[in-house]
């Protein structure tokens, strides 16, 4: 098998068209749209990797420099993206070489203790130490069955449809406030807001334009925002059969949240409402007369990898006191392999190597699954992914690693 490690390298701006065409060809995307000929504003070419086969790009990968919320804190995060291997070069160790190069460079830089990605297929990334740590709710329901309970307080504010110039500054400020509480949320700088709000026929997959709404209190304070799309349709008997697809609903108060959903559920001509990327613990079900009518089909979303186990476990907070030794098995990044003493509580944490006997033995991908608080060690133990050495250690770790809010990442990359 060829060793591709030395053949991988970052691309230049002049090589971007070949790079993006190689990536789109492998994903099966059309070779149209913006940024086909020059890098997008988010692109970090110094963090790209490419394998050239003559003039053709046979493999691609990249990293975005992100900041992710973890329980009780935020951490710099390597957002892995653009990962493709041409069918002409598969099963030859190319992906393994790219993953190893990325993780080694991130670790050597010492800035990002965690990496994250969105997996095109489940089986790919587990062997490199990644694990699904946040899920999407996949919510859907029929609008005729989705009525708010009569006792729901929607406050005295109003919901206003606005253009993007009004929406963006208000949504930016509110998102910055709210994202620090939800593990898996990413910071959005100017370029990421541009990406988030960019609207075109290609981005909407040929669908209708995005609509934007703000919830505004009587004193003018914005306490919520929503973005969504309406797709009109009629049945063969001329009955309305439209679909409302929610992209994001955020609010800083329960009344603002309820008012935004009252507005969305009250749209005329819409038979179905969808919130595919919503959080798995979305509160809407608790506001409805019939919570069973709001159907969830959860699916894996953000995958996480602990690049530096000690730094990653030190970065987050723990709602219950923790004083344990984890024996971490990491076959891909040997610098993580070994025993780690973790001491933590709600105000801080510290982790370092130790020669003490372990309380738990865990593979690094299982530890990554639990890192954001959405997967319990008890569940992992039941699957044979965690071995309890000290009696009660699984219960203690499950309690300490938990978090009141389910992890959620509304930003794909």
- List, in order of start, the domains of the chain with CATH numbers: 4-112 (3.40.630.30), 139-297 (3.40.630.30), 308-401 (3.30.1050.10)
Which among 189, 188, 269, 264 has a CA at the least distance from the CA of 224? 264
Residue 278 among known ligand-binding residues: no
CB atoms within 10 A of CB 50: 24
Is the per-residue pLDDT at 33 higher than 90?
Answer: no
Alpha-carbon torsion angle 159, 164, 170, 176, nearest 10: 120
Is the per-residue pLDDT at 148 higher than 50?
Answer: yes
Q: What is the pLDDT of residue 231?
A: 95
Give the mean pLDDT of 350-367: 98
Q: Percent of the chain beyond pLDDT 70?
A: 97
Q: How far apart are CA 122 and CA 144, in angstroms?
A: 35
Q: What is the pLDDT of residue 35?
A: 87
Around 307, how many Cα atoms within 13 Å sit in the side-chain half-sphere?
A: 26
Residue 83 among known ligand-binding residues: yes
Q: What is the pLDDT of residue 1?
A: 54
Is the per-residue pLDDT at 205 higher than 60?
Answer: no
Q: What is the pLDDT of residue 34?
A: 82
User: What values do phi and psi take at 214, rounded to 5?
Assistant: -120, 145
β-pairing, 242-251 vs 270-275, is parallel
Q: Specify whether the CB–CB gap between 9 and 19 falls below 8 A.
A: no
Is the per-residue pLDDT at 126 higher than 60?
Answer: yes
Q: What is the pLDDT of residue 145?
A: 97
Q: How far apart are CA 328 and CA 255, in angstroms?
A: 45
Is the per-residue pLDDT at 314 higher than 60?
Answer: yes
Residue 91 among known ligand-binding residues: yes
Residue 84 among known ligand-binding residues: yes
Catalytic residues: 125, 413
Q: What length does the chain have?
A: 413
DSSP 8-state code for residue 32: -
The pLDDT confidence band at residue 200, using thresholds 50, 70 and 90, is low
The pLDDT confidence band at residue 32, using thresholds 50, 70 and 90, is confident
Which among 6, 228, 162, 17 has a CA at the least distance from the CA of 97? 6
Q: What is the pLDDT of residue 29?
A: 87
Angle ∠(87,93,96) on CA atoms, nearest 5: 110
Q: How far apart are CA 307 and CA 111, in angstroms?
A: 10
Dihedral sign of CA atoms 383, 387, 392, 395 in order = negative
Residue 262 among known ligand-binding residues: no
Q: Percent of the chain beyond pLDDT 90?
A: 93
Give the H/E segment covering residue 22: helix 16-27
β-pairing, 114-118 vs 73-85, is parallel
The pLDDT confidence band at residue 156, using thresholds 50, 70 and 90, is very high
For the chain, give the mean pLDDT: 95
Is the per-residue pLDDT at 97 higher than 80?
Answer: yes
The pLDDT confidence band at residue 202, using thresholds 50, 70 and 90, is very low
Q: How far apart are CA 234 and CA 248, in angstroms?
A: 26
The pLDDT confidence band at residue 6, using thresholds 50, 70 and 90, is confident
Contacts made by residues 383-388, CB under 8 angstroms, sequence distance 24+: 386/360, 386/361, 386/362, 387/360, 387/361, 387/362, 388/359, 388/360
Q: What is the pLDDT of residue 31?
A: 79
Q: How far apart are CA 141 and CA 324, in angstroms?
A: 44
């Amino acid at each position: 098998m060829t060793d591709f490690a030395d053949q991988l390298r970052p691309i230049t701006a002049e090589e971007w068209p070949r790079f993006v065409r190689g990536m789109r060809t492998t994903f099966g995307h059309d070779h149209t749209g913006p940024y086909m000929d020059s890098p997008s504003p988010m692109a970090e070419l110094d963090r790209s990797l490419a394998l050239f086969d003559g003039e053709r790009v046979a493999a691609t990968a990249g990293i975005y420099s992100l900041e992710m919320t973890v329980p009780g804190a935020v951490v710099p995060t390597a957002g892995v993206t653009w990962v493709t291997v041409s069918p002409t070069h598969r099963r030859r160790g190319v992906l393994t070489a790219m993953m190893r190069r990325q993780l080694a460079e991130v670790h050597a830089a010492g800035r990002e203790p965690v990496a994250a990605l969105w997996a095109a297929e489940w089986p790919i990334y587990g062997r490199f130490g990644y694990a699904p740590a946040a899920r999407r709710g996949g919510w859907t329901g029929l609008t005729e069955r989705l009525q708010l309970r009569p006792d729901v307080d929607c406050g005295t504010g109003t919901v206003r449809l606005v253009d993007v110039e009004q929406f963006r500054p208000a949504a930016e400020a509110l998102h910055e406030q709210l994202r620090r509480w939800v593990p898996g949320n990413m910071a959005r700088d100017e370029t990421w807001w541009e990406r988030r709000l960019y609207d075109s026929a290609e981005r909407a997959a040929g669908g209708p334009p995005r609509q934007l709404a703000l919830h505004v209190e009587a004193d003018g304070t914005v306490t919520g925002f929503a973005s969504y799309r309406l797709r009109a349709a009629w049945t063969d008997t001329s009955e309305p059969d439209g679909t409302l697809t929610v992209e994001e609903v955020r609010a800083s108060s329960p009344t603002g949240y309820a008012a935004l959903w009252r507005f969305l559920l009250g749209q005329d001509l819409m038979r179905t409402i969808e919130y595919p990327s919503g959080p798995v613990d979305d509160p809407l079900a608790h506001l409805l007369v019939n919570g069973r009518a709001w159907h969830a089909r959860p699916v894996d979303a953000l995958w996480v990898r602990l690049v530096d186990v000690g730094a990653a476990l030190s970065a987050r907070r723990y709602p219950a006191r923790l004083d344990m030794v984890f024996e971490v098995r990491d076959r891909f990044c040997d610098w993580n392999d070994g025993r780690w003493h973790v001491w933590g509580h709600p105000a801080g944490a510290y982790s370092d190597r130790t020669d003490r006997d372990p309380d738990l033995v865990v593979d690094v991908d299982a530890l990554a699954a639990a890192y954001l608080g959405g997967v319990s060690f008890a569940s992992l133990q039941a699957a044979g992914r965690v071995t309890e050495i000290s009696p009660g250690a699984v219960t203690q770790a499950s309690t300490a690693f938990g978090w009141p809010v389910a992890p959620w990442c509304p930003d794909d990359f």
